[in-house]
Amino acid sequence: MTESDKHRLMVPDDKVLAGGLMSVPILYRFRGPLDRAALSRALDRVVDRHVSLRITYERAGLRRLREHVLPPGVHLPLTETVVSEPAEAERLMAARMAEMFDPDGLPLTADLYRLADTEHLLLINVNHRVTDAWSNALIRRDLARFYNAETGVATDPLPAVEWLPGDYYAWRDARLAGEPGRRHAEYWDRQAPRLKWAGLRQRTEKFGERRPPSRVVDIAFAPGDVAALRELAAAERTTSFAALLALWFGVLHAATEELGLVVCSIHANRIRPEAWNTVGQFANLTYLRVDLPAEPTFRDVLRLTRTASLEAMAHQEYPVFNVVTHPGTTPRTVSRAGEVAFNMLATPPNADGAAVADFNGLEAVALPFPAGVSSHFDLELFITPRPDGLSGVLRWAEGVYEPELVAALADTYASMVSAVAQDPDVALSGFLKRFR
């Protein structure tokens, strides 16, 4: 067992994991004549294709699990429930996601909620131990391809799965044991004492307590503003990720008037193409800190964010659990540094984005993460690329923040996008009054 495996299979107390913390869901709304039998067969083919989806667990000592991989041919039950309205389905889905995964069963469940003969909601709830956002994009792609094949549509072959999850973990541990690992460790040794930020928390944290349920606020973007932001990012020799993250830093500055800001972000960590088509939990949490000048403009923040992002991505392989052992940090320090998160969906090659799916004869729409399920983060801005631009969701832990503050954060982010699209040198001081 590699060092990565040892930490990946550590089990916190059940009360800490309860509430949906291990749920990484795939949600669809289907309109049209759904072939339920074909969908069930397609799900089984996805499970057959990916070893991670055939893993079961058993306890092997205090707070540790042992993996068992089932052979191909396993059937994934697809339950079906008739519901009267979408709100009822949302409640049932949130309750399903809040359940603990059965260690004796497969690391995913599949539930279909029938609103009408031609309208269904599908929840595929995947255990975070075996998946991440990148892997879920692969599952989406493969499910649509297999459903089409099962309903008689000619489909192109899927790319080969070159590495099994164990191949990736072994490669990464060998790499981190050498010179790359030394460089990563030195970088995080320098960064660790700076990963401290008072943040926005309005309720005292009790370390190790059960996470509260989350609520969500949608953020809309005008297509013209998104296009202007992409042009600005290109002109500054950076990415849309950095530009959208810089906006988040700008909003946090406006809310707190602090100049040293810390945000955590999840990176796909797929630097080897052999892992591009492998379902597994390879993503890693990284921390990004910017130190703003006294009176920052957005362009100032963008350039600082560009540097911070490049450095973090260059060191994204280093396991986050090692950061807490570095000088100047404790588990509580990192917990506070990870209070606020920014994530943007990464789309694997040969896979559509989360909002796009081609299921034969169906109108298929990917649904956002539902409210009422716990999150690892107190406040998380999640950006999803869509065919017509971007969509945003601000998830927040109930009881940790006042709803009025969260609403102000979401509104300020949308307003800042529009302002920056008009003038990238806009002063952030103009947004401070929104929080006074």
Contact 405, 431 (CB under 8 A): no
- Is the pLDDT score of 328 beyond 60? no
What proportion of the chain, given as a percentage, has pLDDT over 70? 85
Q: Stretch 61-75: mean pLDDT, rounded?
A: 80
Comparing 177 with 425, which gets the higher pLDDT?
Answer: 425
- Is the pLDDT score of 66 beyond 50? yes
315/284 Cα distance (integer angstroms): 10
Q: How is residue 90 written in tokens?
A: 């949302």
pLDDT band at 95 (very low <50, low <70, confident <90, very high): confident
pLDDT digits (tens, 9 = 90+) for 175-199: 888 898 889 888 888 887 787 766 6
Residue 8, pLDDT score = 55
Non-local (6+) Cβ contacts of 57 within 8 A are 9, 65, 66, 67, 68, 103, 104, 107, 129
Look at phi and psi of residue 246 and say left if phi exceeds 0, alpha if psi is from -120 to 50, else beta. alpha
Highest mean pLDDT among 53-67, 120-134, 368-382: 120-134
Q: How many CA atoms lie within 13 A of 164 on its CB side?
A: 10
- Is the pLDDT score of 387 beyond 60? yes
- Is the pLDDT score of 327 beyond 60? no
Residue 198, pLDDT score = 61
pLDDT band at 312 (very low <50, low <70, confident <90, very high): confident
What proportion of the chain, given as a percentage, has pLDDT over 90? 52
- Is the pLDDT score of 58 beyond 80? no
Residue 81, pLDDT score = 96
Residue 102, pLDDT score = 81
Strand blocks (E) in 355-435: 363-366, 379-386, 389-397
Residue 2, pLDDT score = 46
Q: What is the mean pLDDT of the chain?
A: 85
Contact 28, 354 (CB under 8 A): no
- Is the pLDDT score of 1 beyond 50? no
pLDDT band at 35 (very low <50, low <70, confident <90, very high): very high
Lowest mean pLDDT among 210-214, 232-236, 255-259: 210-214
Residue 323, pLDDT score = 61
- Is the pLDDT score of 14 beyond 70? no
Residue 330, pLDDT score = 47
Long-range contacts of 61-70 (CB under 8 A, 24+ apart): 63/10, 63/11, 63/12, 63/13, 64/6, 64/9, 64/10, 64/11, 65/9, 65/11, 65/103, 66/9, 67/9, 70/106
Residue 109, pLDDT score = 95
Residue 215, pLDDT score = 87
pLDDT band at 254 (very low <50, low <70, confident <90, very high): very high
- Is the pLDDT score of 333 beyond 50? no
Cα→Cα distances 377→30, 340, 350, Å: 30, 6, 30
109/92 Cα distance (integer angstroms): 14
390/309 Cα distance (integer angstroms): 20
Q: Stretch 196-205: mean pLDDT, rounded?
A: 66
pLDDT band at 386 (very low <50, low <70, confident <90, very high): confident
Comparing 374 with 129, which gets the higher pLDDT?
Answer: 129
Q: Which DSSP helix (H) or strand (E) runs through 214?
A: strand 214-220
Residue 203, pLDDT score = 64
- Is the pLDDT score of 5 beyond 70? no
Residue 240, pLDDT score = 93
DSSP-based helix, strand, coil % in the chain, nearest 5:
40, 25, 35
Residue 315, pLDDT score = 86
Q: Stretch 326-330: mean pLDDT, rounded?
A: 48
- Is the pLDDT score of 111 beyond 70? yes
Non-local (6+) Cβ contacts of 44 within 8 A are 74, 75, 76
Comparing 367 with 204, which gets the higher pLDDT?
Answer: 367
Q: Stretch 276-300: mean pLDDT, rounded?
A: 93
Distance between start and end Cα atoms, the chain: 53
331/204 Cα distance (integer angstroms): 16
Q: Stretch 6-32: mean pLDDT, rounded?
A: 69
